[in-house]
Structure 1
């Protein structure tokens, strides 16, 4: 299934994309696509519905973040061997964890806003993992059974805020609009192997990132197992699993960063596409 949240920001409705690509309204069956709807029983109830019986949504509504009421937005840094190489950093021994503020989350095609004082806003296409059932002390072998589905995340980053304002990476990761998520949540049964997905990101029509989840240092299963030893992962939590090479900060001989008027196009195999226009903060 492809589950969506559509409509104006803050008033999104739950929906489903049927096999023909038509958006169907789920409002008669649940209030929102949140952790409560993403349990095994919740997803089974949605699968039992006949999409043709659901009202078709007309027009071209905005796609909001594909998960509402996110509890934790966890992010993994330096998780692609080729990305670590382009930044000149060592392969980490354990997953590098930082958090992105939930207030950064926006829809897949919403504007990305460059914060005041920023000169180093960067892009990062990433595989997002959405937890469906609570995970605590889970093994790698069992980890994927706790996944509801997958989505695209753009882990937008302000590199000076991240690296030079002291403290943690969170400072450069949590600015408003720095977490486009979606356009839809693709349930686990439609993604046979999360370690075999192609990722791309273009800026103004120029390909900047090309990668595959096969080059992840830590697999999705390893990440979930590791994090679950440290904290309980709850339904609706989102994990952004790292980015392949090609970020602006890694461009030689001179880094390239986002400016107002730029357009980013992101895609992950089987998970759809994102497009964000970049603008300055008012």
Structure 2
């Protein structure tokens, strides 16, 4: 892994996701090198995009820039992160994610974290201080042979243990099952949901969407309808709140758009 450094002009970006107002990505690139990941195609730093999983850029002046922005930007929901994993290994050294979240929460922004790393537990202290402004999601796509599609990511069972701990601490949590890929991990949804059947969390799921260079096929609508029905039935059986990613914005807006001041 090659780590490089860069100065940036902006910290927060307007999010293209309905459920978020802003996105914050402390790093360009992601060390986990997941073979299905779309984020490389939205990463503006050319080397990090082309050498996905090999080169990480640390945004050295991120906190300085973020400090200026939160003083003037309208409060809203910030996704941490959308094109990188905020708790990948370099975060253990540079702690930009921790510093960013701390600053956002102090300024009254709401923070929605998505990661594959149990390192998020390190920041329980700051998350619990403003748990009314925080939700945390852990991604699990498979429990078996995960290294074939997520070669450098933490073990899925470790992610699930982190999710359970966060939930036990009283934080709003969610498990993201996705992308679900036909013929790769679509036969594992029941096993994954069973793993969290006793955890107070919600389930968000999504299908794989193909981009040029990603060597998986997109499943057809009949296949997806079958998978979606199965997931919804399982969630009903275990009394878990559950919805497709495309519907997540409805939940988020209902939960988060209370008065911010």
Do Structure 1 and Structure 2 share a fold, with TM-score over 0.5? no
TM-score by length of structure 2 reads: 0.25
Give 1 or 2: higher helix fraction. 2
Bigger RCO of structures 1 and 2 (CA < 8 A, at least 6 apart): 1
Give 1 or 2: higher strand fraction. 1
